Amino acid sequence: MDPQLRELATAAPVTLYRHLSSSPKGLTEHEADGRSVPHAAGQRERHWRSTVASPFAALLTVLTVVFVVLGDWRAAITVGVMVVISIALRVWQQVRTDQAVRGPRALVTTTTTVRRRPDTGMPPVDREIPPDDLVPGDVVLLVAGDVVPADVRLVAATAFTVDQSALSGETLPVRKQPPSDHGQAEDLSAVCFAGTSVVSGTATAVVIAVGAWTYLGVMGEQARRARPESSFDRGVRSAGWTLVRFMLVMAPIVLAVNGFVTADWAQAALFAVAVGLTPEMLPVIVTANLARGAVHLSRKKVVITRLNAIQDLAGMDVRCVDKTGTLTEDRVTYAHSVDLSGRPDGVAAEYAYLAAQLQTGPRNRLDKAMVEQHESPLADAMFVLVGFVGFVDPVRDSAAEAVHMLDRHGVAVKILTGDNRHVAARVAEQAGVHVAEVVLGHQIEKANDTQLHRLVRRGTVFAQINPVLKARIVTARRDAGHAVGFIGDGVNDTVALRTADVGIAADTATDVAKGAADLILLDKDLTVIARAVREGRRTLGSTMKYVKIAASSNLGNAVSVLVAAGTLPFLPMLPVQLLVQNLLYDAAQLTLPRDRADEDHLRVPRRWDTGGLTGFMLTFGPLSSLFDLITFAAPGWLAGTDTPAEQAVFQAGWFTEGLLSQVLIVLVLRSRDRVGITARPVLAAAVAVAFIGVVLPWTPVADARRMTALPVGFYAWLPVILAGYVLAARVVRTRHMRHRGTGL
């Protein structure tokens, strides 16, 4: 515990005022102005750097500079546009997310009562000011219903109780009064912490910490620290390095072969760089997928605060939930009453009702005088035990259905709570969670790493768990290779929310919890989490479709150009032509977020599969290369276009065939279904891009791209080659799925 906080909590009032340079009459306005601190700037979330930054965007930026240095402005502009689109999409989505999260908060205004003096020697005045205007040393007045605006030390209190469940998870209000007891920070009876709420009574207190220096602010700062790398981040990094290694191997080989054959090292360098862009539109495609996923989730009343969390949902196979306020409604309701023999009886309930109705509120001075008059213990005979009254925090109506839906989608639910084992187990049963084993907090505390992994693997209910242990349980599951989601609503859940792959909070959660969360639920219906999991898997599936197909196509292109470069006295395609081909193909893939997903893909957790990416590339890349070379052979040997004089025709032909084959292969490989019903936007984009690929060599734009019109005979045998490619791809796809047990 902070020694200064303990010192202020236990100090006599005179010492407290002297330490804070204050007095019971409060600060003067001049003194308060001199102590004001601009907290707002420090409280803003500084996430724009991570929003804009992207490894692939950085790579494309470097390549743009390379094109500028080499003097190919067309290629530089083409790649630069890709960078701008990618960053613009990410910024646009982050702005929308910020507005969704902060918009409702702007509608709520709060004030606090402060005692200040207009000037030295003048009497104090109690007035309302915004909590952000408080400074250390201010004297504040608190009454029932107030939210404690800062960390304060009580100097006077009457029947004063505070709800600090957001900090400690305690269900019942805590009595606060000077002087202080010793204990943990949240247990100090003379200190009230920012963000807690007054349940009853009145108090006068002195502000000891504000803004980022409060206990709440420190927890919030921990929430803003860099979070551990999620399963999605690890997958993207691994896939990215796979593609970068491919680029680093292929680009120098292409450069060397083309340079020696053509003796034009500048063009060879540009062509090698163009081949190395694999796949250059990945940031745009990923962002488009995430943006559409965020829009879908917003319609289900889920706000996304970290875009990548959508795809982290796809891999989530363990969800840890806090009991109070998550599975339950966080309100106490009457359950039943029994007599002394345990039989149902309403007498005790009637007396409890009368006691509640006759409750007149906090004690005043008359109450205190009466208590002092009758200090002697009351005889036991003055009380008659008539029975017992039971109360319950009811389980949410949607809890059992949500648990069932998650179980059907391969997500195990574990309950983490500070309550006792019997209450936790009962709530788990009512919520439909199979209680395999109840693990207690002291077992987690005493366990070494091996024992901990065994406990968290077997246990489904964890009772009497403090915030530190919650985070330790989440970490243990992650270390075991699981993608973990955590849902909580209190400040005490902040560390676990930040540690999990996906942190989830309700809109009614504390600001610190929402700041640490990746998803914020605007609806109390917990089934929306299961729907969000499906959306995450659909989004990841669309992204992986693009990455796998694009990477295999680029591998095929690279092999094809290596063979062509070794046999042709000119480049098989100019750098700008290759970039335009890739740009058109990638533009068609922007519709993949609207594609349908296979149902079997949605039923089980999915992650980025780098091994699957490599296997897919090595399977379909050579197939693509084979039909590229067939195209290269047909017009070159039969039509005599393999001479430098006819290179424009050759390049235009390969441009058209390569584009059409890439577009068609997407339609063939996009689904595991035999028929593979294609979503309308995907089909429309494929048709549009195919049309552009066919007519582009005939348009005036072709001159700028150094292409020319193709002979009519080219279009006679082109369908034959494409039909053969499609049939071969279907056969290979079937064998690939049978061998690996999975499709895209």
Q: Quick one: tokens of 260?
A: 């020696």
CA distance 256 to 278: 19
Q: Which of 322, 489, 518, 642 is catalytic?
A: 322
Asked if 659 contacts 586 with a C-beta cutoff of 8 angstroms, the reply is no
Asked if 510 contacts 520 with a C-beta cutoff of 8 angstroms, the reply is no
Asked if 287 contacts 316 with a C-beta cutoff of 8 angstroms, the reply is no
CA distance 97 to 463: 35
CA distance 529 to 406: 8
Secondary structure (DSSP) of 78-142: HHHHHHHHHHHHHHHHHHHHHHHHHHHHHT----EEEEEESSTTSPPEEEEE-GGG--TT-EEEE
Secondary structure (DSSP) of 182-195: PSSGGG-TTEE-TT
Sign of CA dihedral 106, 107, 108, 112: positive
- How do 191-192 and 151-163 pair as beta strands? antiparallel
**Residues near 595 by beta carbon (within 8 Å), at least 6 away in sequence:** 542, 545, 670, 678, 679, 681, 682
CA distance 729 to 738: 14
CA distance 395 to 277: 53
CA distance 739 to 301: 41
DSSP H stretches of helix in 433-485: 441-446, 449-458, 467-479
Phi, psi of 447 (to 5 degrees): -75, 140
CA distance 27 to 138: 6
322 is catalytic: yes
> Which H or E run contains 495?
helix 494-499
CA distance 573 to 579: 10
Quick one: which of 368, 361, 366, 365 has its CA closest to 144? Answer: 361
Q: Quick one: tokens of 416?
A: 């983490």
> What's the DSSP call for residue 328?
B
For the annotated catalytic residues, the residue numbers are: 322
